[in-house]
A and B are shown apart, each in its own frame.
Chain A
Amino acid sequence: EAQVTQNPRYLITVTGKKLTVTCSQNMNHEYMSWYRQDPGLGLRQIYYSMNVEVTDKGDVPEGYKVSRKEKRNFPLILESPSPNQTSLYFCASSTGLAGVETQYFGPGTRLLVL
């Protein structure tokens, strides 16, 4: 089944404790991105990747890192999480640019930073 998977689905952590949210897609998509969703603010793009080893900042990249060593994986790294990063996070992939092609979303990761 074609899908985007994220792990973990739920995470509670404390300020400053490094964490990684994994994202994997099995559709051989070149483009992957991360979004966060907050009440009243909608979805905002954090980072995106056009291909292996090619990443760039989205609208709200502060406090996040990403890497794209393999085509199928695009982990999101929070080196020192803070409470304002409490949010619902979505990974997405597509065959082409996010602004041009349909995005396929993962199920989401709900993060609480205490």
Chain B
Amino acid sequence: SQQGEEDPQALSIQEGENATMNCSYKTSINNLQWYRQNSGRGLVHLILIRSNEREKHSGRLRVTLDTSKKSSSLLITASRAADTASYFCATGGYSGGGADGLTFGKGTHLIIQP
């Protein structure tokens, strides 16, 4: 199964700045999803981008997908203290009838300094 790897592993920025996280994966995908996890809590879905899409927006979030480079980026604009969390990319495959799981990367830990 394919795996996303986030970069950087940790990121610390000032409140109000933009935060960019990257994800790379190895094989063809059906879609790529971004999730947020506050310390020790459940994962919250942020955005799902399908393999035939190049960019999606949701509020202050912007996700791009470049299937030729097998990479995605998550941009959080005008960061807030509440954005402090771990962010995971997850890649989904689909082998015609198979139920490929969602494979998660190890996450980027984002800290927003007040």
Contacts and interface: CB of A to CB of B under 8 A. Distances in A.
B8 to A, nearest CB: 15
Interface string A48-87: 1010000010110000000000000000000000000000
Interface residues of A, number: 31
B30 A99 contact: yes
A98 B102 contact: yes
B104 A42 contact: yes
A98 B42 contact: no
Interface string A82-114: 000000101010000111111111111010000
B99 interface: yes
Given A50-B99, A107-B41, A110-B40, A102 B48 contact: yes
Nearest to B47: A102
Nearest to A104: B45
A99 B102 contact: yes
A97 B106 contact: no
Interface in B4-42: 30-31, 33, 35, 40-42
Given A42-B107, A50-B99, A99-B31, A90 B43 contact: yes
Contacts of A58: 101
B43 A105 contact: yes
Counting chain B residues whose Cβ lies within 8 A of the other chain, the interface size class is 20 to 34
A35 to B, nearest CB: 8
A13 interface: no
Contacts of B1: 59
B30 A100 contact: yes
Interface of B: 1, 30-31, 33, 35, 40-45, 48, 88, 90-94, 99-107
Given A98-B102, A110-B40, 11 more contacts: A31-B99, A33-B101, A42-B105, A48-B99, A92-B43, A98-B92, A98-B99, A99-B92, A100-B30, A103-B45, A103-B102
Interface of A: 4, 31, 33, 35, 40-45, 48, 50, 56, 58-59, 88, 90, 92, 97-108, 110
